[in-house]
Structure 1
Amino acid sequence: MSEAKKAVEKHANGKPVTGTEDEGPMSGYSSGFFSDSSSSSMERSPRNLAGMNRAEPFALDPLPVEPRSPNADTDWIKEVQGSNAFIEGLSQNKGGVLSNEPADCVEFQKGAIVNEKDIEENMLAGKIVVIRSVNKAAIGLVLPDVTLDNVAKLFKGSDGEYKVRNSKTGQFAHMTIPKMIEYMKENEKCIENDNVNIMNLLSFECTKITRVSSTIKLPLFVQNLSMIKQLKAAINERFGTLKTGSFATSDATPREREWLKKLKNHIPSYENFYIISMKGAFTDLHVDFGGTFVYYFVHDGKKVFYVAPPTAENIEAYRQLEITGKSMWTDNPKMLKNFRKIELNPGDLAFIPTQWLHFVYTPCNSLVYGGNFLTESKLNEHYKMMEIEEECLKNKSGKSEEMFKNFWDMQFAYLKLVYLNGAISMRKANVLLLGSYQSVGYQFLTTLIEKIHEPTINGLFSTDDKTELLNMLERVLSKKKFDMKKPFKSEFTPKLVGKQTSSNPVEALSIKRKAEMKSPSEIPSTKKPFKE
């Protein structure tokens, strides 16, 4: 028999029951629950409880309540990422799971004079840079004047459909931009309604929509640092060269032109993304593909980033989650303590360096412009993230479409048309490659040697092509007198290094250097410059 029923029976027998200290007060019940609607007192009419001899105040023991979980405020992190319960917990930061401390970043307030060189130096030093209400013209950024109200006019339905991710389920649909905007407006209460999907458009890269992309200019230092931008410029320059002088009549020119066209068609574009997100959209923990740098400008709405620095501990924890297909929230929630918060409002611009871990929440409908780029000064970091992504692909915990497309072919192309082009000119002028120029060369050499035999896209590079490029790279890095007409012999004589040997001079160099290096990122000292 329930405690409540026992209490009523005691009253029926003329034995009123009052609450004791042990039993606790009758909290949670209103006086009207046991009285006539016309009465606000605790007196009970005889007709209310048949069989009672008199009406008098009384109290019931509280009904048994299921004990509250000691983790009730943090249980939301165990929900399906993107579900209503998860998004509600995330938006309210229930249980204080997430830090409200601002991220350690270099922040320029509205009206501050922003030095372009300072931004570049801070980014390359691994610091996040945030510019509040940025003066776009001051850093060379040019964008269309667009908001959620007019973006559907800028991008028409005829521009095509794009993959849109449902934050609640992780599944994808295909929508045009106008359809996406229409859906957003029709479903303002998407978090509260289980039947409404929270859509997040992350894959819309508009470079091929030239009527829009032709009006966009990236910040100048992004143009200068981006390996892909430099590669495209080198291809266009080479096309121009082939139209002049002896090149115009050379039998080899048509073949080279064809190769350049093929290369140009296979260069991926990650420079001009428009991200359209519904209120409540959530992007889970990730490092951007290939460890690329990220720039991010908020046109409309708001974004909340949670970021963690690329320490060895954080990167290894991230790697373990990625290769096993596990979730930080359920399998390693201790990681959450490493994240700090960045809020971005309309007009704010953020630059996120390579390898920073982050996840993103959208508190209201938003429109963002952004892009990704590689830089040669951080090759080691880019290569490290590619190794993780390739490991995930092998373990089937990752997908090829989530990786930097044609990454290694782009590295060989950059080596051929950008790096070696400049390095050969320097060596012809009797200038040795030192400092960062030398370290970049060694990073190319010791990494790309392992990619010689990997398949290439559409026959861009044969194994012989790759070997020839790396042999030339070794030649320009050598301290020997540079003479293109003389045969070159490697100064790294093939010899036994552990159990590894090689008769190929490039492979021998790679094996020797890797055996000598304390870490993969170590480079030769340049404190004492060499002179020829």
Structure 2
Amino acid sequence: MSNSEMSCVGVEEHHAVDIDLYHCPNCAVLHGPSLMKKRRNWHRHDYTELDDGSKPVQAGTRTFVKQLRARSFPSADEVILKMHGSQLTQRYLEKHGFDVPIMVPKLDGLGLRLPPPTFSVLDVERYVGGDKVIDVIDVARQADSKMKLHNYIKYFTNPDRPKVLNVISLEFSDTKMSELVEVPDIARKLSWVENYWPDDSVFPKPFVQKYCLMGVQDSYTDFHIDFGGTSVWYHVLWGEKIFYLIKPTDENLALYESWSSSVTQSEVYFGDKVDKCYKCVVKQGHTLFVPTGWIHAVLTSQDCMAFGGNFLHNLNIGMQLRCYEMEKRLKTPDLFKFPFFEAICWFVAKNLLETLKELREDGFQPPSYLVQGVKALLTALKLWMKKELVTEHAFEIPDNIRPGHLIKELSKVIRSVEEENNKPVKTQGILGVCSASRSSHETASPHHSRRRVRKLRDHATKTPSNLDILELHTREDIANSKLNGRFNKPFQPSSTVPDWRTKDNDLRLVLSNGRIIRDERRPFTDRSLYTADSEDEDDRTRSKKVTVKREDQTSGLEGEGNADAQKPLNSKERNLALTKS
């Protein structure tokens, strides 16, 4: 039966699989209630299978949870950092990296605002609305189904629970409950979405920072890596959760991918396949930050409400991209991937290009984590723009970005940085240590006044001409029409490439003061859109000349003094985004 059909007959989706013979209300008068399937085992997802002792235990079943509780694990104290909220700063993570989980026992100093521990599931219903349809996991079957929030709250508050149902994906940014929660300062400051997502983007902004998790005792989520390699924060409001943590080493990631694609995945406990799986108990009032790529499973050891959120950041760009590519190989459904992951990578690349240029103009050496991350990002962008793959990735290329030009400029900047260091910078690895960032030098920098002037000039109000006003109006109308036509769903799959992106009549003509300044009516016949090795080769032959020219310009700047601060500027001052837990 479909969801609508089950709704009409008053049967919850997760109950439908338990019915052997359905009797409608009229038939029930004569023949009694619907006949239910008979349970024959407690260790298989299909509880009707005969228990002949030949089939292994599957994840999430009652037998599995009982065995999991009896297992012994090394303590996560061996690997995690415990710190006060005020110590968890952007500067700290820039300097020391964000490569291991971080536990913060108290709220103080985190900037995390939450409801009081007396906040109940009934309050969630009051703020979110009982008619909201949510995803619910039937833990014993490890299967997802839909349910109205009101019905789940009714189930949660009933002491007689025939099943273990878990809610881990209730994102509430668009509800009244959002006003009660402020995410940790460090997550907000590092977030790609918060720092780089443009307000005028035709792509819907991803909302992945505010989740409410409600789980009854013995709820279990099997081993996974958070979508897009996002880092994640969890705070237990009341109750308790147990995390089983595995380092994202090369070997462990290869084992994880193999295990994830196996037909016997549910019958194999992944923790047994690796050298060490750490147990981390998160008690009421504790906040846990899990870094990029860490493989983890979660057991709800007692009824629990928790809040959490996901975020991408600059500290582990290489690992984030590695996780995304793994998701594609595993054919992860778009519903379970980071919304518009490739689009945000283009936005980030554009902004980091300006950041690198400004750092070099101001006499700073870019931090190694940033150079490594940009190199990893550049490799991914080149791959996505190869001729044989471009149509697969074209949908998520933002309209205001010239991919070929951006790739070329990023390549130039990275080569210049490496030449200045007199040695190549290795591509970002899994557990790289971050160097001190630009923010570490700002207060002592003799160039900070120049940077402040640039920022003020970039934000200065400009009086537009009549033609510029017309152009802005036209762009707004076009953006609105595209938005209505392109997004009838919350978000569109990354792999879907609409026909309009390749049609000749998709006119992209931009005028300013009566002149054509951009004409992209045939975007995919222009060689500059593709990754061109010949362009890179040409750039290499010119690199020495560019270096000499830059040195001449630098010596000229020293003689001009404050006149440099009055030059027209190319970009806004942007804060470096950092790794998020």
Q: Does TM, scored on the shorter chain, surpass 0.5?
A: yes
The Cα RMSD (Å) is: 3.4
8 A contact 1:471–1:505 mirrored in 2: no
Q: Which has the higher contact order (CA 8 A, sep 6+)?
A: 2
Question: Match of 1:377, SS?
Answer: coil
Question: Match of 2:376, SS?
Answer: helix
Distance 2:410 2:98 in 1: 27
Distance 2:267 2:133 in 1: 32
- Residue 463 of structure 1 and its aligned partner are, at CA, apart by 12
Identity %: 19
- Residue 363 of structure 1 and its aligned partner are, at CA, apart by 1.5
Distance 2:536 2:220 in 1: 45
Question: Match of 1:376, SS?
Answer: coil
1:411 aligns with 2:345: yes
Alignment of 1:50-69 (within 5 A): none
The unaligned stretches of length 5 or more in structure 1 are 1-74, 191-195, 237-259, 482-501, 513-529
- The structure that has the greater radius of gyration is 1
Question: Match of 1:359, SS?
Answer: strand
Change in 2 beyond 3 A, CA 1:80/1:441: closer
Change in 2 beyond 3 A, CA 1:459/1:227: closer
1:302 corresponding residue in structure 2: 240
1:217 aligns with 2:182: yes
8 A contact 2:88–2:110 mirrored in 1: yes
Question: Match of 2:208, SS?
Answer: coil
The counterpart of 2:356, out of the listed 398, 423, 439, is 423
1:104 aligns with 2:56: no
1:120 corresponding residue in structure 2: 93
1:89 aligns with 2:67: yes
1:80 corresponding residue in structure 2: 58
Question: Match of 1:262, SS?
Answer: coil
Alignment of 1:357-376 (within 5 A): 357-376=295-314
2:164 corresponding residue in structure 1: 198
- Residue 456 of structure 1 and its aligned partner are, at CA, apart by 4.8
8 A contact 2:343–2:396 mirrored in 1: no
Distance 2:149 2:529 in 1: 53
8 A contact 2:244–2:279 mirrored in 1: yes
1:290 aligns with 2:251: no
1:402 aligns with 2:336: yes
Distance 1:511 1:386 in 2: 26
- Residue 296 of structure 1 and its aligned partner are, at CA, apart by 0.5
8 A contact 1:156–1:178 mirrored in 2: no
Aligned length: 374
Residues 149-187 of structure 1 show CA distances to partners (whole Å, capped at 9, x for unaligned) of 543354343561111111011222223333322201214
Question: Match of 2:416, SS?
Answer: coil
Distance 2:159 2:221 in 1: 20
- Residue 382 of structure 1 and its aligned partner are, at CA, apart by 0.6
2:280 corresponding residue in structure 1: 342
- Residue type matched to 1:399 in 2? P
Change in 2 beyond 3 A, CA 1:205/1:84: same
- Residue 384 of structure 1 and its aligned partner are, at CA, apart by 0.9
Alignment of 1:113-512 (within 5 A): 114-117=86-89, 120=93, 124-132=97-105, 134-136=106-108, 138-145=109-116, 147-148=119-120, 150-158=122-130, 160-188=132-160, 190=161, 196-209=162-175, 211-232=176-197, 235-236=198-199, 260-263=200-203, 265=204, 267-327=205-265, 329-330=267-268, 334-335=272-273, 338-393=276-331, 398-416=332-350, 418-426=351-359, 435-452=368-385, 453-456=390-393, 460-461=397-398, 465-479=402-416, 507-508=532-533
8 A contact 1:277–1:367 mirrored in 2: yes
Question: Match of 1:363, SS?
Answer: strand
Residues 388-433 of structure 1 show CA distances to partners (whole Å, capped at 9, x for unaligned) of 111011xxxx3222221211111012222x2234334446667775
Q: TM-score, normalised by structure 2?
A: 0.58
Residues 79-138 of structure 1 show CA distances to partners (whole Å, capped at 9, x for unaligned) of 1221222222223x1xx4x415344244548xx574123863698341111122x134x1
Change in 2 beyond 3 A, CA 1:441/1:346: same
Change in 2 beyond 3 A, CA 1:468/1:162: same
Residues 47-76 of structure 1 show CA distances to partners (whole Å, capped at 9, x for unaligned) of xxxxxxxxxxxxxxxxxxxxxxxxxxxx99
Distance 1:387 1:510 in 2: 26
Distance 2:316 2:308 in 1: 20
The unaligned stretches of length 5 or more in structure 2 are 1-52, 420-526, 538-549, 555-581
- Residue 331 of structure 1 and its aligned partner are, at CA, apart by 7.3
2:463 corresponding residue in structure 1: none
Which stretches of structure 1, 4 residues or longer, exceed 6 Å deviation after superposition? 502-505, 509-512
